[in-house]
Amino acid sequence: MLKKWHLFTPGPVPVHPKVLLAGAGPIPHHRLPEFSAVISEIRQDLKYLFQTERPVFFFASSGTGAMEAAVANLFSPGETVLVVRGGKFGERWGEIAETYGLNPIYVDVPWGKAVRPKEVEEKLENHPEIRAVLVQAHETSTGVKHPVRELAEITRSRDVLLVVDAISALGVYPLPMDEWGLDVVVAGSQKSLALPPGLSFIALSEKAWSRVESEGLPRYYFDLRREWKAYEKDTTAYTPAVSLLLSLRESLKHIREMGLERLFAHYSLLSEACREGVLALGLKLFAEEPCEALTVIELPDGVDGGKLNRILREKYGVIFAGGQGKLKGRVVRITHMGDQSPLDVVLALSALEIGLSEMGYPVKMGAGVSRALEYIKEKAREVSA
């Protein structure tokens, strides 16, 4: 018998069969009018998802591609940017900025904590040369949610852009781009959009777009000026990932039917149920301000995350993610993104319990599961999917 796998990694995430099948048909030609109609439909629905009137562009790349596109299109050589660095993906913003010859200034945030808006404000006051703030909405390596809305209140009235990596946040919790005044929102397919890997997205405010016209670093594939021209003709500058776009169209159709509010309530339920279960087991959450995309659990002393994950994978077919960078071995990460229902949280918790127990940690088996079930029973009525 084939092994049944349970994927709880924060990218890739489980994809609904209907969405997979939508991309499994014959390949249409991307320059034909029929496919332009598909692109047009997708673009309308993406505006709904990003909560913006602005165009949303997509590339055939992983999420990092759209992060690179943001940097390459918005700045000129040597310009200064402020990078919120509180995890692996904050570090990535800094690495991209350095690669492109920018001058990044860092707000270093202890891993597990959210950035304090006041600190960002102070940096902006002391460094008037800063042209943008680069931040994650959800820092996937630590499970922290940064206060994006408060940051936008700071950047809004200044000649400073707020560039938000929402690769694990868009569609999971509210990030109304226009209403909050987010200048750039970046997303990726295999995380919060619950699709296979291979698509990235970027939307820019008018304020950000004016920089694209007047500035920019060397760029070719990621040149947004070319994409804009193609956009006006309902196509893309280069060959798009057609199969993934067909899957995306299917997924966006269901998101529209469900509505963003219910979608956000769904993720809120899953993440809260998981946190309740974890706490009931006497374990600690790693994030002080936990996000809805995933739960990061601090492991007790003596429990190695790598070993725990190996037992779960090999014996039970459950795949959690381990810690990245300095968190290697110290945490496990359980995602709520993708095609999951509330009872999948219960499965994840049961795996955590049995795994810890196998490692000799005195866990009261069933305690986390029981608490999560109670929580779900109480709340699921309100958000039944």
Ligand X SMILES: *Cc1c(COP(=O)(O)O)cnc(C)c1O
Which residues sit at the interface with ligand X, rule CB under 6 A? 11, 62-64, 89, 136, 140, 165, 167-168, 188, 191
Q: How far is the CB of 168 from ligand X (least distance, A)?
A: 4
At its nearest, how many Å lie between ligand X and the CB of residue 137?
7
DSSP 266-329: HHHHHHHHHHHHHHHTT-EES-SSB-SSEEEEEPPTT--HHHHHHHHHHHH-EE-EE--GGGTT
Smallest separation (angstroms) from ligand X to the CB of 206 = 25
Give the up-direction half-sphere exposure of residue 374: CA atoms within 13 A in the CB hemisphere: 10
**Partners of residue 17 on adjacent β-strands:** none
Between 52 and 62, whose beta carbon lies closer to ligand X? 62
What token pair was written down for 267? 């993720």
Q: What residues are designated binding site for substrate?
A: 333
- CA-based nearest residue to 57, from 227, 190, 174: 227
Q: How far is the CB of 92 from ligand X (least distance, A)?
A: 6
Q: Which of 235/295 has CB closer to ligand X? A: 295
Of 323 and 355, nearer to ligand X (C-beta) is 323
- Cβ 140 vs Cβ 89: under 8 Å: yes
∠ Cα 169 170 176 (to 5°): 115
Q: Which residues are annotated as a binding site?
A: 333
In the complex with ligand X, the residue whose CB is nearer, 68 or 298, is: 68
Helix axes 88-99, 63-74, angle to 10 degrees: 40
Distance separating alpha carbons of residues 157 and 152, to the nearest angstrom: 9
What is the nearest approach in angstroms of ligand X to the Cβ of residue 95?
A: 11
Using the minimum distance from each CB to ligand X, give the nearer residue, 63 or 368. 63
d(CA 188, CA 199): 6
Q: How far is the CB of 199 from ligand X (least distance, A)?
A: 9
- Alpha-helical regions (H) of the chain: 17-22, 33-50, 63-74, 88-99, 117-126, 148-155, 177-180, 206-214, 224-231, 242-258, 260-280, 305-316, 342-358, 367-383
Cβ proximity to ligand X: between 61 and 235 the closer is 61
Residue 97 neighbours by CB under 8 Å, 6+ apart: 71, 81, 83, 103, 104, 134
Considering beta carbons, is residue 241 or 303 the nearer one to ligand X?
241
Minimum distance of ligand X from residue 116's CB (angstroms): 19
